[in-house]
Structures are given as structure tokens and as C-alpha cells.
Amino acid sequence: MLGNILRTLAFSAFVRHETNNVLADNIITSDEAFFGLSPPIYPASVEPGSSGWEDAFSKARALVGQMTLDEKVVSSVLKRCGTNSLTRFGQVNITGGISMSNLCSGHIPQIPRLNFSDLCLNDRPSGLRSTNILSSWSTAISVGATAYKQLDSQCSLGMASEFKTKGVNVALGKVIGPLGRIASWGGGFSNDPYLAGVLVNENVNGMQSAAAITSTKVSDGRSEYSATAVSSNVDDNMMHELYLWPFQDAVRAGTGSIMCSYQRINNSYGRANSKNPNGLLKTELGFQVHNP
């Protein structure tokens, strides 16, 4: 017995000694050296006359051209309390919106002088959150299991009606980026990219026909566990054959926005990864709108 204890102690001391040697040699003690390795692609691709968004671009330019500096940069934010009442909340950059613990997951304030109503965003994989008196819709993984396009379309129309009634302009979803590898999460339609693409097409058309802008998410390869701490390393074949595939259907359907993922993609954070929005979405797929 004593011999076993001594051997265990000796082995533990050896492991500690070797570990200290490795750390002393600075062998991968931080992953910051691997940040930003995705190839840069600038500027963003813009194809006038080919995207179908020309009228919207023209209206946006006209609106921004009338804004004062204060209206562009610092504007009073109105906090939503329920569906109708509004109270002062503070100051915020109008170009960035704000995350608030109420009906709006993100919010851009109104500019009464220009007749610009506020823009309210809310999460919606299975319906509105942070409010009451609403429906709980089927999870995407359940709809995907039926492979029934009409069901998806009807759910999307009904969900959009609730968003509109509550004063929400932008619906943050559906989720198609993670491909549903973790079924219990329920965020995506399916791990079949073709099926996910067919259903997100129905979803975008259904939601936006009822005047709720879709923000299809999250491109690409999102990890739901420790989302901001990991890098989803995806080679070119896997990116195009699996992860990017359903997004082309969302773009063809006319989704109003595509949300960037929180984690790194090939070691560059999604929002700062120019290869992802500029190279893949805007150049290859022809997406011309915005990436929140």
C-alpha cells in the first residue's frame, strides 16, 4: 500500500514538473496569436441594378441626407413598456441601437422631424420574447422534421402578425447557421442544408409578406456553447456544401438582413471577418443589405 502511494506521489510530481517546463517554454498559453487569420476582402461588393433593393437604397440615402449630426450620432432612446407606452431611457448611438431588457432586443429611436418611426428588433426562433399575451410556436427542428413547406409558411405568417401587433419591425431569425447538430437546442430546421434552405425560403417569404423584416442567422458555423470563446474552423468545401447552402435560399427569398455569428470563423470574429460578409454573402451570393 505504501509503495503504491509513493509511486503515485512520484508520478504526480513528474507531471507537475513537465507541465511547468511546457508553460515556461510559452507553448500555446494564449490563442490570441491565431486571431484574424481569415483572409481580408475589401471593399464590400455592391452591384447596382442587380439586387432588387435599389428603391430601398435610394430612400435610405435620402433619409440619411436630411439627418443632422445629432440625429445620426446621438439620439434620445425611447424605452418600450408594453406595446404602446414609451418613456425616456437615455442616450445612444443611432447607428448601433441598444440591447434592452424589455420588448426590444435591439432598438433604434424614432426621429419625429423626419417622420421616421423607431426600429424595434426582437428574437424569434419560436416567437416573441420578453412580453406576454402571445403564442408559443413550434420549434424549427419540429417543423423541419415534418418537411412540410405549407406548415412553415403558415407558422411564419402567424408569427409575423404577432410581431407586427406588438410593434416589432425586425424578427431576429430563423436560425440556419448551426445546421441543428444539437437537436435539443431547437434553433435550426435540420442538419440537412437542402431542407434548411427550402424551409427558410418559406419562412422569409411568409414573415416579410406580413411586414416583419427577417434577420436570418447566424452566419456561419455557430457554436451555441461558449459562443464567443471558440473558433469554428471550416474548410472551403464544408462552408459551401453545408453551412452557406441555406443562406443562398434566404438571399434569393429576399431576407432583409443576415446576422453575423458571435464566435470566430477560421480564427476571425464573425462581425470582423470580411471573408464572411464581403466575400461569401455579398460577392458570391449577391446579398446587398446589412449584417447586424
CA neighbor of 178 nearest in space, from 122, 247, 235, 119: 247
Q: Does the pLDDT at position 79 exceed 60?
A: no
What's the pLDDT tens digit per position in 11-58?
565 556 555 555 555 566 666 777 777 888 887 776 655 567 888 888
What's residue 27's pLDDT?
65
What pLDDT sits at residue 289? 81
Q: What is the pLDDT of residue 262?
A: 82
Domains of the chain and any CATH numbers: 124-292 (3.20.20.300)
Read off the pTM: 0.79
pLDDT-derived band at 181, boundaries 50, 70, 90: low
What is the pLDDT at residue 290? 74
Angstrom CA distances, 203 to 153, 156, 196, stand at 6, 5, 10
Q: Model confidence over 80-138: pLDDT tens digits? A: 444 443 444 444 556 656 555 567 888 888 888 999 888 888 887 788 887 888 888 88
Residue 5: pLDDT band with limits 50, 70, 90: low
* Percent of the chain predicted with pLDDT > 90: 25
Those residues whose C-beta lies under 8 Å from the C-beta of residue 125, and which sit 6 or more positions away, are 139, 140, 173, 174, 175, 186, 187
Q: What is the pLDDT of residues 254-279, one digit of tens each?
A: 999 998 888 888 888 888 888 888 89
Confidence at residue 155, expressed as pLDDT on a 0 to 100 scale: 93
Spatial distance between the Cα atoms of 179 and 243, rounded to a whole number of angstroms: 7
- Residues ≥6 apart with Cβ < 8 Å to 94: 71, 72, 73, 74, 75, 108, 109
| Tens-digit pLDDT profile for residues 208-221 | 999 899 999 877 66
132-171: pLDDT as tens digits: 888 888 888 889 999 999 999 999 999 999 999 998 999 9
pLDDT band at 68 (very low <50, low <70, confident <90, very high): confident
Three-state SS across the chain? CHHHHHHHHHHHHHHHHHHHHHHHCCCCCCCHHHCCCCCCCCCCCCCCCCCCCHHHHHHHHHHHHHCCHHHHHEEEEEEEECCCEEEEEEEEECCCCCCCCCCCCEEECCEHHHCECCEEEEECCCCCCCCCCCCCCCCHHHHHHHCCHHHHHHHHHHHHHHHHHCCCCEEECCECCCCCCCHHHCCECCCCHHHHHHHHHHHHHHHHHCCCEEEEEEECCCCCCCCCCCEECCCHHHHHHHHCHHHHHHHHHCCCEEEECCCEECCEEHHHCCHHHHHHHHHHCCCCCECC
Q: Do the Cβ atoms of 196 and 176 come closer than 8 Å? A: yes
Give residue-wise pLDDT tens across range 231-250: 888 889 989 988 899 999 99
> What's the whole-number average pLDDT of the chain?
78
CA neighbor of 261 nearest in space, from 284, 285, 231: 231
**CA-based nearest residue to 265, from 230, 291, 236, 290:** 230
